[in-house]
Homo-oligomer: A and B are copies of this chain.
Amino acid sequence: MVNFMVVENTKFGKGAKVFFPDLVNIYGAEIGDNSRVGTFVEIQKGAKIGANCKISSHTFICEGVTIEDGVFVGHGVMFINDNHPRAINESGQLETEVEWKQRGMQCTTVKRGASIGSGATILGGVTIGEFAVVGAGAVVTKDVLPKAIVAGVPARLLKYRDE
């Protein structure tokens, strides 16, 4: 079945829902209770998504990303776990997964209740704080404090949610 091929070895919580299993690519991930995953989403092995999250269409969540409970991830959001990506090694050969692991992965955490706007790009190694808001189309290059609202390329602080 196509379903089996594209949603593989993934632990789904109670009530979690993938709207179109034929049109996603999820493997070796964890998705918590009641969370929703849209179409054209790829979630890589080792990625962890908490409960009550919305992961919108066209989004890519890579290995090394942890998304806590109640997080909104918009459409077309790209996470990154390698801030210095390359296709080839020093010898000009395709970099192997072992070589890539040796260079190290930059892990990212999105804390409880945060919202990431559509079209945002999240560099590796950052923490996005609780209830923080990342504006649509922003490129997040460093940590975002709890309840901070950031936007732009690179993302800069606009204000805090309670101000």
Query: Is A113's CB within 8 Å of the partner chain B?
Result: yes
Pick the contact of A118: B6, B25, B60, B75 (CB < 8 A): B60
Query: Is A40's CB within 8 Å of the partner chain B?
Result: yes
In this complex, what residue of B is CB-closest to A41? B40
Residues on the B chain within 8 Å of A72, using CB: 85-87
Residues on the B chain within 8 Å of A64, using CB: none
Residues on the B chain within 8 Å of A53, using CB: 87
14 cross-chain CB contacts under 8 A: A6-B23, A42-B58, A52-B87, A52-B92, A52-B93, A54-B94, A57-B60, A70-B87, A70-B88, A72-B87, A85-B117, A135-B139, A151-B154, A152-B154
